[in-house]
Amino acid sequence: MQTSTAKKLSRQTLSQLPTTIAKPDYAIEKVETGIVHIGVGGFHRAHQAMYTDAFMAQTGDLSWGICGVGLREGDRRMQEALASQDHLFTLVEKHADGERSARVIGALTNFMLAVDNPKAVIEQLASPSVKLVSLTITEGGYNMDPSTGEFQSEDAAVQHDLKNPETPKQVFGYLMAGLKLRQERGLAPFTLLSCDNIQHNGSVLKKMLCAYIELADKEFAQWVTENVAFPNSMVDRITPTTTTDDIAQLAECGVDDAWPVVCEPFAQWIIEDSFCHDKPALDKVGAQFVQDVAPYEKLKLRMLNASHSILGLCGSLAGVQTIHECMQLDEFYHLLTVFMESEVAPTLDPVAGIDIKEYQQILLKRFANPNIKDTLTRICSQSSAKIPVFLLPTILDNLKHTGRYHIGAFTIACWYYYSARGCTQAGEPLHIDDSLATELKAGAQRGPEAFLKLTHIFGNLSQFSEFNHVYIDGVNRLQRGESVQSIITELSC
Ligand code: CS2
């Protein structure tokens, strides 16, 4: 419920907002668009937009504002919310002890909905002021076949874009059109920075984009390969889905914001120092430029994201709702500790400046933050794109090097049960929010073996008989009605 004194957020009302809310201390009206970001969700706003805002505040260099772009009709709600408040929004950091800090972020200069005007988006990408294009299009957004690592060219939107290069539908169509226009106009290409949770995200983006361009224009694909930089990056900040309670709480503090973002205090951004155009000195505000991002990515994906998926899939069957509630249960807390120590840590490479044990401890604390209320529904969404990136590489490494993979295998058993029955162990319905939901359900209903043979998710995992054995044992125990809690207690011994 909104209180009557809450001020609608806008440039005009900024100075009237309560003093407890930090505001951009730079001239917002002077900010120029230096970055185009595709995929403006909560995470982008809590992370890249926050870093950019801090950078502009600290350096006074206002040439790095962000123009957001939404490619889907589903982005209209965000476009309308942001447009209604001059593209300002509030970021609320919630600490474990209840402390909160809110600040208005002024980094967004605009938000364009591509479906409304594809030409304008292509023009924006070709604008001389744009030096960087960043992406958060989700793990599944790269159109990569997970079993072969190749571009899926038969996709309907890809075929559409090849025939209609001026009115594309998918991200690669836009990027190609923008880069082409820049080349025609003699402008340097922008750097393309993927901020998705994928190992070697920049290299994957390069491979997929160039594969797409090759279908249309081989010579231009060669030019892009040689002239565009695709730095890899590791991004981290837990950002739950904004709830109506979050909006109401902010209104009680005096700000009427249609779509604020809530996040944890922690943030990390490690970027490969490889740009083909100017870059903002984000290292002035806590980001790190390094030569090789791979060990950081591997650490984060295998420790944090995989642990999230484990809690998501196992916790859902046990009827738990959020990550921090899982962490309050000893069984889950121990499960994660053992998973990180005995299944993940042995597969990691040394990471400069990071003590892996300390990293684990910090993660457990971050997950336990009771004010973040990160739902298992969010974590389980799009598991078909997450599990192959977050968990499978660890299982496969352990199978190759005779390491432990029992917790990983049990998580897949839980996912099977979740997909086959669509309910918790107590029979409460669980929704499967996944673009491959039909396939997952159909595979699971044919039985656990058939589920594991969904090769574009699991690759050749079903060919490892020792894995099969452990996985089927987990499925049998679940089917006999043994509780998740009692199984994971045993697995954590
Ligand atoms: C989560 C991530 O989507 C997921 O399953 O693991 O969104 C996670 O919260 C972020 O990567 C944290 O940086």
Confidence at residue 309, expressed as pLDDT on a 0 to 100 scale: 98
Residue 2: is its pLDDT beyond 50? no
Kindly give the distance from the C-alpha atom of residue 477 to the centroid of ligand 1, in angstroms, as a whole number. Answer: 29
Confidence at residue 390, expressed as pLDDT on a 0 to 100 scale: 97
pLDDT digits (tens, 9 = 90+) for 255-273: 999 999 999 999 999 999 9
| Nearest residue to 280 (alpha-carbon basis) of 37, 52, 38 | 52
Kindly give the distance from the C-alpha atom of residue 239 to the centroid of ligand 1, in angstroms, as a whole number. Answer: 8
pLDDT digits (tens, 9 = 90+) for 157-187: 999 999 999 999 999 999 999 999 999 999 9
Confidence at residue 3, expressed as pLDDT on a 0 to 100 scale: 47
Does 363 sit in the ligand 1 pocket, CB within 6 Å?
Answer: no
Cα–Cα distance between 437 and 443 in angstroms, integer?
10
Does 407 sit in the ligand 1 pocket, CB within 6 Å?
Answer: no
| Three-state secondary structure call for residue 91 | strand
Cα–Cα distance between 105 and 46 in angstroms, integer?
9
| Nearest residue to 244 (alpha-carbon basis) of 227, 258, 226 | 258
Task: Pick the atom of ligand 1 nearest to 237's CA.
Answer: 13
Kindly give the distance from the C-alpha atom of residue 481 to the centroid of ligand 1, in angstroms, as a whole number. Answer: 30
Confidence at residue 148, expressed as pLDDT on a 0 to 100 scale: 85
E strand segments, 153-280: 191-194, 233-236, 255-256, 261-263, 268-272
pLDDT digits (tens, 9 = 90+) for 399-452: 999 999 999 999 999 999 999 999 999 999 999 999 999 999 999 999 999 999
**Four-CA torsion 385, 391, 394, 397, nearest 10 degrees:** -50
pLDDT digits (tens, 9 = 90+) for 206-238: 999 999 999 999 999 999 999 999 999 999 999
Look-up: residue for tokens 């929010």?
Answer: 433
* Contact in structure between 302 and 394 (CB atoms under 8 Å): yes
Fold for the domain defined by 294-491 = N-(1-d-carboxylethyl)-l-norvaline Dehydrogenase; domain 2 (1.10.1040)
DSSP structure class, residue 209: H
Strands across the sheet with 132-135, in order? Answer: 108-113, 65-70, 33-38, 132-135, 191-194
Does 107 sit in the ligand 1 pocket, CB within 6 Å?
Answer: no
Return the structure tokens found at 272. 């490969």
* Contact in structure between 172 and 115 (CB atoms under 8 Å): no
Which architecture does CATH list for 7-290? 3-Layer(aba) Sandwich (3.40)
DSSP structure class, residue 381: T
C-alpha separations of 28 from 14, 24, 341 in Å: 11, 7, 47
As annotated, the residues of the chain forming the CATH 3.40.50.720 domain(s) are 7-290
Atom 7 in ligand 1: residue holding the nearest Cα: 238
The phi, psi pair for 197, rounded to 5°, reads -80, 75
As annotated, the residues of the chain forming the CATH 1.10.1040.10 domain(s) are 294-491
146: confidence class by pLDDT, cuts 50, 70, 90:
confident
The phi, psi pair for 480, rounded to 5°, reads -75, -5
* Contact in structure between 151 and 208 (CB atoms under 8 Å): yes
Confidence at residue 226, expressed as pLDDT on a 0 to 100 scale: 98
Give the whole-number percent of the chain exceeding pLDDT 90: 97
Confidence at residue 5, expressed as pLDDT on a 0 to 100 scale: 86
DSSP structure class, residue 276: S
| For residues 134-142, average pLDDT | 94
pLDDT digits (tens, 9 = 90+) for 313-338: 999 999 999 999 999 999 999 999 99
| Nearest residue to 5 (alpha-carbon basis) of 14, 19, 15, 17 | 17
**∠ Cα 42 45 49 (to 5°):** 165
Atom 11 in ligand 1: residue holding the nearest Cα: 236
| For residues 60-64, average pLDDT | 98
Kindly give the distance from the C-alpha atom of residue 60 to the centroid of ligand 1, in angstroms, as a whole number. Answer: 31
Q: At what angle do helices 330-338 and 356-368 cross, to 10 degrees?
A: 150
Kindly give the distance from the C-alpha atom of residue 335 to the centroid of ligand 1, in angstroms, as a whole number. Answer: 19
| For residues 456-479, average pLDDT | 97
Atom 8 in ligand 1: residue holding the nearest Cα: 238
| Nearest residue to 52 (alpha-carbon basis) of 284, 266, 271 | 284
Confidence at residue 4, expressed as pLDDT on a 0 to 100 scale: 61
